[in-house]
Amino acid sequence: MSDYRADFVEFAVASKVLCFGQFKTKAGRMSPYFFNAGLFNDGAKLKRLGEFYAKAILDSGIEFDVLFGPAYKGIPLAASIAIALADLGRNVPFAFNRKEAKDHGEGGTVVGARLEGRVLIVDDVISAGTSVRESVELIRAAGAQPAGVVIALDRMERGTGAQSAVQEVRDQYGIPVVAVATLDNLLEYLERDANRQADLAAVAAYRATYGV
């Protein structure tokens, strides 16, 4: 696995963002692991998180002009990624949206840079794909083109059909979806830790049942 992917999984576990146990998913499944990006909740963690996203974005080769972070979790993500990309020599504008339109001042629902050209959506995970759909509609309504989606973790798990939420987004909108790390990377991490063999067995069994 690419070094930054292995480092990201270790970072997420150390930050208690990625934890193991028994957790009920939105689909009603009992998952042996849980990823809560809201716990990247201090300056140092957010800085490192932005750096991981920046590496994944540059590694993907996706061409884009603007970063877009959907409210709410995408807002600090877009800002931290823009800072990390600038540190790597790529200074790009970023924008985010409000949940409710503002009726005074500049008005509207989009804050920050103008949505134009190729817009890269940044979010934490893709579950039902609702956030991506709303983002794509907003970007197209502004006359811009969605360039792709970048997320922290791809659970590689079936949705309501045979495909995962990530695969559904790729097929529906015809855009690439890039993850900083995937379930495969998580399993590789667990395989290397002799103290986590019970977690490895549980995650592997879950993937055998619900994976794609």
Catalytic residue positions, numbered = 102, 104
What does the alpha-carbon distance between residue 150 and residue 124 come to, in Å, rounded to a whole number? 8
Closest CA to 15 of 192, 166, 153: 153
Q: List the beta bridge partners of residue 112.
A: 95
- 58's CB contacts (< 8 A; 6+ apart) are 85, 88, 90
Closest CA to 67 of 99, 37, 92: 92
